[in-house]
Amino acid sequence: MKIVFGFLLIIASFTGTIFFRNYNGSVIPYPTLWYLSFIVSGLSGVWLIYSATRKIKRIVEQHINSEIENLKANAEKIELNFEKCEFKSGSFSHQVEDQVMNTVKLFAPGSLAPGIDTTITENVIQSYLTYTDTMNAELCKFISQPFPFDQTTLKFYVLNHNITLYVDRFNRKKYLFDLKR
């Protein structure tokens, strides 16, 4: 409800600010005061949205953490067998804005040539594993979340038993790969 009210405040503030920015009449007294009050109400709307989403995010994080702790406490704990693991790379590259170049453009707008590219290529290295095992005479395949390192490091962690698989006893679709560092 706070988010909806925040958006309504922002819309009303935007409308009022546009109106009073160009207002030259004499029917409404103190147009500058009205203009400033609409700006303050718009900032209040932004604050309402920010605080509400922050609270929602905190609640979701607490729920996820409690689910993880519950799964670790009640699930079947499996030490990974290296022979049953398949390692895959999930690394990729993508274009991001160069913050240094953006700062230069902000403080010295005409300093860069028009054709200068302000994006850089960022390489994201990640890998994941697929663990296949027989449980209750049924072949089960578990795919891990991406880990922020390459396949060789992931293999090292599996060989040193630093990654544990937790599988829910009643629902095999609920599982978690936990990394102990």
DSSP string, 86-122: EEEE--EEEEEE-HHHHHHHHHSTTSS-TT---EEEE
The first and second tokens of residue 177, run together, are: 């790969």
- State pTM to two decimals: 0.64
Number of domains comprising the chain: 3
Instruction: For residues 86 and 99, state if they share a domain.
Output: no
Range of the domain at 21: 2-65
pLDDT per residue, tens digit, the chain (181 aa), is 888 888 899 999 988 888 888 777 777 888 888 888 888 999 999 999 999 889 889 999 999 999 989 989 999 999 999 999 999 999 989 888 877 766 666 666 665 556 667 788 889 999 999 999 988 888 899 999 999 999 999 999 999 999 999 999 888 889 999 998 7
Same domain? For 176 and 159 the reply is: yes
Domain check: are 7 and 49 in the same one? yes
Q: Is 158 inside a domain boundary?
A: yes
Indicate whether 6 belongs to any domain.
Answer: yes
Token pair 């994080």: residue: 61
Same domain as 44, residue 29: yes
Whether 140 and 81 share a structural domain: yes
Quick check: is 133 in a domain?
Answer: yes
Asked if 58 and 113 sit in the same domain, the reply is no
Q: What are phi and psi of 121, to 5 degrees?
A: -90, 125
pLDDT of residue 135: 81
Write the secondary structure of 28-95 as one string of H (helix), E (strand) and C (coil).
CCCHHHHHHHHHHHHHHHHHHHHHHHHHHHHHHHHHHHHHHHHHHHHCEEEECCHHHEEEEECCEEEE
Are residues 111 and 34 part of one domain? no
In a domain, 70, yes or no: no
Looking at the structure, tell me whether residues 148 and 87 fall in a common domain.
Answer: yes
Whats the size of the chain, residue-wise? 181
11/99 same-domain check: no
Give Cβ neighbours of residue 121 (< 8 Å, ≥ 6 apart).
93, 94, 95
In this structure, is residue 82 part of a structural domain?
yes
- Whether 138 is covered by a domain: the verdict is yes
Q: Are residues 165 and 85 in the same domain?
A: yes
Residues 131, 178: one domain? yes
